[in-house]
């Protein structure tokens, strides 16, 4: 047992001790060279801190692991030729030097990206690493593109996540431990030895990088870490093993990849929103303060350690999921599905900034079109909705067939599917549903939509009943089910625009809730005028600085109920107490009241000191 464990201990301790010794030296050299992160509005450090400390990880890893291989006479990686291992090492030094140059001279983002792409291409072309061994059917060009995307993506993912003391280094340490475990599962001890050595170097540097940090990784360290974590699985892979080559590394890099994806989406949206206002210069590659760790940091009250440990926990859970999936083998798909579901929850929980920016962009597109673009929109909207309805009706057919356990066959698809879809579509045209403005629809319009679905389903069933060589089993049940499900599907498509508008308004309220310069308003009245007032707030989401915190209505039976997700807090007589409880600073009267009652309301609200306005629409003679 000791003989088996001893090599791993030595491989771990060598880089650990060397990195512990080298980091203070590198820190002092970088300080003297002026490689220092100075405090500004985006950075979290309050005092100047040297950057480029990742050079200590590179040196500690190279010397420590090199000496280990020399004295133990082991290969660099199991099953990998020495020449290929040398090429990998040279390219890792190259990416580290590129990062060091950026730490020293602040290279332009496009030049740095070009260097990353060049190194990634050499990984595929010179070092002969790629995904072709995992998926032999890949074309050469696709293998090249996928390999370069994988390497450049990992390098930038760790580069972008390195914005908090010990964050990138700690997540890399967790990822390294997880990938070492995956190598144990597939009997690749030499790759595990490399990961142990890398973990030792990371832990040694984390001693100085953990909050409060005395040195930062810099681009030198973060890019080197991303490169190693991306390329080593390609070199130490097991043929036809997705989890070892891609799965576990992908989960291990889950937090950096998620943060990078959001950053690209967020900056692209903001570039589109700000087009014409600023110069063209590279907003997508410009740093901001809305990364995942910034958001959690604000939520934890600027506690860097707590934020780091939250993200450590997420990374550890993802890595553990990958390892358990490898162990269970046959139930891997279920675990991956669960992981994707959890990831989706995280995305919709923490992506409110990106969703809000998307709402701003859609709002701008919707309300700033000129006459010609509106005319084109009107011409193309009907064909678009027709195609959408046909797709929905076809999907409903498959859903109903599935629910009734019909055996899918080519004959069923040829005979039943076109008849069902065309019959309902014809009645949709007959009842003029495509001439209806659904954002202004009345009850009669929805009844017409329901009748179109019912008559269309019945007409389709009658045609199939009298058509020779078609089975009529369960035709009555299918008729009723298809009519109801079609109505639900088509209704959902028609109210979707309003649902999206309400979702963006809810996101806007979430954004406004944390701001101090927002006017918190109570609305008096819950009728048609309130709905009109709320719609106006939704339409001006991008420039809105007001938030409804509650409703007031004189109907005592409505107290405690919700309208549009906003609670009715009481009657106007309770307004002073409600204002005090909600910290409201304005009241909007959105109901029809007499001048006498208006005077009473003003007198009641006057002691509270809140601003009182009236929202009204009325008909006046011209």
pLDDT digits (tens, 9 = 90+) for 440-485: 677 888 899 999 999 999 998 888 877 765 566 678 888 899 999 9
Tell me the range of 6-10, 238-242, 290-294, 366-370 where mean pLDDT is highest.
6-10
Residue 414 lies in a domain: yes
Answer yes or no: do 420 and 313 share one domain. no
Closest CA to 311 of 298, 289, 292, 290: 292
Whether 140 is covered by a domain: the verdict is yes
509 in a structural domain? no
The alpha carbons of the chain give a radius of gyration, in whole angstroms, of 31
pTM beyond cutoff 0.95: no
Q: Residue 391 falls within a domain, yes or no? A: yes
Contact 65, 14 (CB under 8 A): yes
pLDDT at residue 376, as a whole number: 57
The reply to whether 345 and 403 lie within a common domain is: no
User: In the predicted model, is pLDDT for residue 280 greater than 50?
Assistant: no
Same domain for 396 and 328: no
In the predicted structure, residue 243 carries a pLDDT above the cut 60: no
Closest CA to 613 of 528, 539, 546, 543: 546
> Are both 550 and 478 inside the same structural domain?
no
Mean pLDDT across the stretch 419-426?
90
Residue 333 has pLDDT above 50, yes or no: no
338 with 375, same domain?
no
Give the pLDDT of residue 62.
92
Q: Is residue 362 part of a domain?
A: no
Q: Are residues 276 and 332 in the same domain?
A: yes
| Residue of 123 and 48 predicted with greater confidence | 123
Percent of the chain residues past pLDDT 90, beyond the cut = 25
Q: How high is the pLDDT of residue 512?
A: 64
Q: Which of 500, 525, 543 is the last residue of a domain?
A: 500
Q: What pLDDT sits at residue 406?
A: 76
Q: Is 145 exposed, middle or buried (0-12, 13-18, 19+ CB in 10 A)?
A: middle
Task: Specify the higher pLDDT residue, 370 or 267.
Answer: 267
pLDDT at 599 over 80: yes
Work out how many domains the chain is built from and give that number.
3
Higher pLDDT, 236 or 140: 140
Buried b / exposed e over 423-432, threshold 16 CB at 10 Å, is bbbebbeebe
Residue 27 has pLDDT above 60, yes or no: yes
243: nearest Cα among 327, 118, 367, 140: 327
Which CATH number goes with the domain that contains 522? 3.40.50.720
Residue 331: pLDDT band by 50, 70, 90 thresholds? very low
Same domain, 386 and 465: yes
Average pLDDT value for residue range 229-252: 69
Q: What pLDDT score does 352 carry? A: 53
Kindly tell me the sign of the dihedral angle through the C-alpha atoms of 481, 483, 489, 491.
Answer: negative
- 492 in any annotated domain: yes
Instruction: Say yes or no: 35 and 167 in one domain.
Output: yes
Average of per-residue pLDDT across 5-15:
89
Inform me whether the pLDDT recorded for 84 exceeds 60: yes
Q: Are residues 459 and 527 in the same domain?
A: no
- Together in a domain, 157 and 240: yes
- Per-residue pLDDT, averaged over 514-527, amounts to 81
**Are 187 and 290 within one domain?**
yes
With a cut of 80, say whether residue 528 has pLDDT above it: no
What pLDDT score does 416 carry?
Answer: 81
- 483-497, 502-516, 582-596: which has the minimum mean pLDDT? 502-516
- The pLDDT tens digits of the residues spanning 163-219 come to 788 888 999 999 898 888 877 777 777 778 888 999 999 999 999 999 888 999 999
Answer yes or no: is pLDDT of 89 > 60.
Answer: yes
Task: State how far the Cα of 234 lies from the Cα of 589, in Å rounded to an integer.
Answer: 65
354, pLDDT greater than 90: no
d(CA 153, CA 116): 10
pLDDT at position 587 over 60: yes
Range of the domain at 541: 517-614
Lowest mean pLDDT among 168-177, 535-544, 592-601: 535-544
In this structure, the answer to whether residues 238 and 335 fall within a common structural domain is: yes
What pLDDT shows up at residue 282? 45
Instruction: Identify which has the larger pLDDT, 541 or 11.
Output: 11
Q: How confident is the model at residue 374 (pLDDT cuts 50, 70, 90)?
A: low
Domain boundary among 475, 500, 525: 500
Q: Tell which wins on pLDDT, 48 or 374.
A: 48
Q: Among 49-58, 132-141, 209-218, which is the least confidently predicted range?
A: 132-141
3-state secondary structure of 31: helix
From CA 599, how far away is CA 360, in angstroms rounded? Answer: 39
Kindly state whether residue 512 falls inside one of the protein's structural domains: no
Q: Is residue 356 part of a domain?
A: no
pLDDT at 578: 92
Among 366-375, 458-467, 476-485, 531-540, where is mean pLDDT lowest?
Answer: 366-375
């Amino acid at each position: 047992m000791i003989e088996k464990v001893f090599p791993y201990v030595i491989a771990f301790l060598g880089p650990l001790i060397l990195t512990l010794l080298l980091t203070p030296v590198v820190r002092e050299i970088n300080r003297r060279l002026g490689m220092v992160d100075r405090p500004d509005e985006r950075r979290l450090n309050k005092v100047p801190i040297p950057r480029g400390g990742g050079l200590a990880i590179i040196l500690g890893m190279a010397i420590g692991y090199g000496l280990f291989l020399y004295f133990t006479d082991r290969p660099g990686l199991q099953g990998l030729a020495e020449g290929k291992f040398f090429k990998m090492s040279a390219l890792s030094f190259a990416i580290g030097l590129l990062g060091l140059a950026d730490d020293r001279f602040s290279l332009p983002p496009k030049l740095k990206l070009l260097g990353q792409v060049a190194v990634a291409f050499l990984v595929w072309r010179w070092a002969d690493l790629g995904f072709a061994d995992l998926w032999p059917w890949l074309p050469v060009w696709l293998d090249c593109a996928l390999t370069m995307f994988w390497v450049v993506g990992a390098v930038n993912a760790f580069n972008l996540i390195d914005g908090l003391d010990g964050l990138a280094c700690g997540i890399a340490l967790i990822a390294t431990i997880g990938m070492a475990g995956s190598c144990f599962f597939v009997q690749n001890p030499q790759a595990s030895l490399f990961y142990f050595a890398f973990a030792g170097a990371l832990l040694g540097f984390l001693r100085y990088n953990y909050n409060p940090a005395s040195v930062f990784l810099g681009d030198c360290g973060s890019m080197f870490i991303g490169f190693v974590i991306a390329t080593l699985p390609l070199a130490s892979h097991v043929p036809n093993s997705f989890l070892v080559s891609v799965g576990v590394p992908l989960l291990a890099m889950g937090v950096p990849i998620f943060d990078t994806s959001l950053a690209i989406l967020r900056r692209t949206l903001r570039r589109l929103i700000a087009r014409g206002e600023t110069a063209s210069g590279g907003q997508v590659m410009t740093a901001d303060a809305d990364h995942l760790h910034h958001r959690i940091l604000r939520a934890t009250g600027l506690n860097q350690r707590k934020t780091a440990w939250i993200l450590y926990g997420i990374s550890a859970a993802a890595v553990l999921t990958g390892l358990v999936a490898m162990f269970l083998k046959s139930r891997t798909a279920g675990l991956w599905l669960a992981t994707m579901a959890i990831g989706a929850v995280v995305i919709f929980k923490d992506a409110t900034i990106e969703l809000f920016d998307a709402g701003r962009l859609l709002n701008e597109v919707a309300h700033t079109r000129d006459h010609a673009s509106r005319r084109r929109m009107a011409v193309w909207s009907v064909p678009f909705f027709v195609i959408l309805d046909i797709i929905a009706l076809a999907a409903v057919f498959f859903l109903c067939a599935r629910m009734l356990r019909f055996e899918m066959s080519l004959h069923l698809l040829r005979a039943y599917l076109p008849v069902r879809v065309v019959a309902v579509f014809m009645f949709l045209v007959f009842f003029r549903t495509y001439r209806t403005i659904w954002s202004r629809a009345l009850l009669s319009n929805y009844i017409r939509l329901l009748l179109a679905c019912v008559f269309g389903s019945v007409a389709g069933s009658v045609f199939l009943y009298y058509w020779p060589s078609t089975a009529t089993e369960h035709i009555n049940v299918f008729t009723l089910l298809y009519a109801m499900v079609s109505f639900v599907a088509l209704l959902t498509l028609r109210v979707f625009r309003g649902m999206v508008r309400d979702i963006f308004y809810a996101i806007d309220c979430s954004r406004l809730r944390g701001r101090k310069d927002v006017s918190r308003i109570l609305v008096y009245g819950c009728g048609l005028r309130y709905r009109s007032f709320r719609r106006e707030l939704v339409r001006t989401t991008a420039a809105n600085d007001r938030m409804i915190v509650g409703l007031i209505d004189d109907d005592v039976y409505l107290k405690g109920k919700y309208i549009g997700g906003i609670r009715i807090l009481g009657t106007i007589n309770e307004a002073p107490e409600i204002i005090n409880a909600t910290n409201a600073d304005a009241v909007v009267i959105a109901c029809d009241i007499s001048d006498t009652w208006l005077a009473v309301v003003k007198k009641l609200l006057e002691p509270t000191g809140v601003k009182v306005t009236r929202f009204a629409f009325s008909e006046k003679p011209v």
